Amino acid sequence: MTRFRFTTAGESHGPALAAIVEGLPAGVPVSAEEIDRELRRRQGGYGRGGRMRIESDRAEILSGVRHGETLGSPVTLLVRNRDWANWTAAMSAAPVENEGDDEAMRRVFLPRPGHADLVGSLKYDRTDARDILERASARETAARVAAGALAKRLLAEAGITVGSHVVSIGGIVAGRPDEMPEDLNAASDPSPVRCLDAEAEGRMIDAIDAAKRAGDTLGGVVEVVARGVPAGLGSHVSWDRKVDGRLAGALMSVQAIKGVEIGLGFEAAMRPGSRVHDAIRLDDALERGGGYGRAGNNAGGLEGGITTGQPVIVRAAMKPISTLMQPLETVDLRTGERAEAVRERSDVCAVPAAGVVAEAMVAMVLADALLEKVGGDSLAEVRRNLDGYLERIRERGVFAGA
Ligand code: EPS
């Protein structure tokens, strides 16, 4: 990310998470309430564990916003961990007296297969895997969602919306609606698993209950849809400017994500080209496609690393959470003895929340690509540049049709 950048900091049970967001133009309306709405969406979903009953995530805006509008300067967001109150000694930045008390320090010597516990401990030369898992925890995604809310606001001001829904949980696959709802989140958010198929929703909930009883966890697939994306974001000219690669990288960086598909995805590899590629026609209906439309959208709104003007459709596959109440075999980091992995409080399934996190990541990649295309130091300038560009490609479409 070059134009819109963000970084996060903070441990899962430290005092707070923070995000610094750079590159927002001046004049973007921003409110803590709007960010908090996104944070609440991330906290929800059937299958979450005890932590979400402790937290009620709220963003404090520490810089970059004045009287409800961005200044163009870096925006700092802080999300406090309420659970910190229970961890002040175990996670103290300063040395504490009872450091030798492994239990009080909540030290972890039994790394969980699938988590960063073992590899992080090797790489950073730590014996207490708590030094690793605190940052590897998906709690960090709260900061991403807060930052993503700013990107979403910028995109909304430019006519671009980003929503998501759950495609599958634990192997139960939702039926696909004939047409995606225009306001995707309005349709998916009321579902406890953020699923558009009511019949599959019931089976997903049963599967989560069964996994919980068995001390197990479940993964799944989420889909993000971005609408109103103009044709021409990203570029074919260099590998690191392709929007599909940037989306895949951004989504794969989310905790527990193991795969990303765009449009038809892996299915495209099974079909002949005639049943994959989306025929081109002159079509005014695709408002931001420059007067060109398509017979379908198997490409997921991306060709040659450039957006086509059709909805951008990306799916991410989340593995099951690696903290199991019926733990797998592991090795004690102190003694090398065979042991059972640590049981920590955790979620049974966080797939519905992963959709919200995926929206944030997609929004930040698209905000970056939008600013790269049209530039602008103020929101008004971004809009003017975007309108000028859209007019130019529309003229071309009209010309081709004449
Ligand atoms: C999470 C908070 C964490 C976990 C979960 C995500 O809180 P705690 O560890 O205190 O229960 O519930 O993280 C994991 C499942 C993980 O493996 O790291 C959150 O805020 O999303």
What is the Å distance from ligand 1's center to 356 Cα? 15
Residue 297: inside a domain: yes
Of 58, 146, 76, nearest to 363 by C-alpha is: 146
Of 265, 260, 256, 266, nearest to 353 by C-alpha is: 256
User: Residue 107's Cα: distance from chain center in Å?
Assistant: 30
Against a cut of 0.95, is the pTM above it? Answer: yes
Residue 100: inside a domain: no
Q: Give the 3-state secondary structure percentages of the chain, helix then strand then coil, rounded to 5.
A: 35, 20, 45
Token digits for 52?
């979400």
Residue 70: inside a domain: yes
Residue 29: inside a domain: yes
Beta bridge partners of 22: 5
Q: Judge contact between 223 and 165, C-beta under 8 A.
A: yes
pLDDT of residue 399: 62
What is the Å distance from ligand 1's center to 136 Cα? 9
Residue type at position 143: A
Q: What's the domain count of the chain? A: 1
pLDDT of residue 395: 86
CA-CA-CA-CA torsion sign (266, 166, 83, 326) = negative
Token digits for 164?
């998501």
What is the Å distance from ligand 1's center to 14 Cα? 13
Name every residue whose Cβ is closer than 8 Å to that of residue 104 and which is 6 or more positions away in sequence.
89, 90, 98
Range of the domain at 144: 5-92+106-393
What is the Å distance from ligand 1's center to 45 Cα? 13
pLDDT of residue 287: 86
Ligand 1: residues whose CB is within 6 Å?
12, 49, 51, 83, 115, 137-139, 141-142, 321-323, 344-347
Q: Which residues of 262-294 are buried (b: 16+ CB within 10 A; e: fewer)?
A: bbbbeebeeeeeeebbbeeeeeeebebbbbbbb
Find the helix or strand (DSSP H, E) in which 339 lies: strand 338-340
Residue 400: inside a domain: no
> How, if at all, do strands 306-307 and 302-303 pair?
antiparallel
pLDDT of residue 344: 82
pLDDT of residue 345: 87
Task: Indicate the top mutation candidate among 217, 347, 349, 351 to test ligand 1's pocket, ranked by most ligand atoms within 8 A of CB.
Answer: 347
Token digits for 57?
């995530």
Residue 51: inside a domain: yes
Q: Judge contact between 221 and 168, C-beta under 8 A.
A: yes
Q: How far apart are CA 302 and CA 37, in angstroms?
A: 30
Nearest atom (ligand 1) to Cα of 112 = 17
What is the Å distance from ligand 1's center to 55 Cα? 11
pLDDT of residue 400: 64
pLDDT in tens, 60-70: 999 999 999 99
Residue 229: inside a domain: yes
Q: Nearest 5°: phi and psi at 56?
A: -135, 85
For ligand 1, atom 10, which residue shows the shortest CA distance?
A: 51
For ligand 1, atom 2, which residue shows the shortest CA distance?
A: 139
Q: What is the 3-state secondary structure (H, E, C) of 191-219?
A: CCCCCCCHHHHHHHHHHHHHHHHCCCCCC
Low-confidence ranges of the chain (pLDDT < 70): 398-402
CA-CA-CA-CA torsion sign (97, 102, 105, 107) = positive
Nearest atom (ligand 1) to Cα of 322 = 17
Residue 370: inside a domain: yes
What is the Å distance from ligand 1's center to 137 Cα? 6
pLDDT of residue 401: 58
- For residue 165, the domain's CATH number is 3.60.150.10
Q: Judge contact between 217 and 324, C-beta under 8 A.
A: yes
Q: How far apart are CA 372 and CA 35, in angstroms?
A: 24
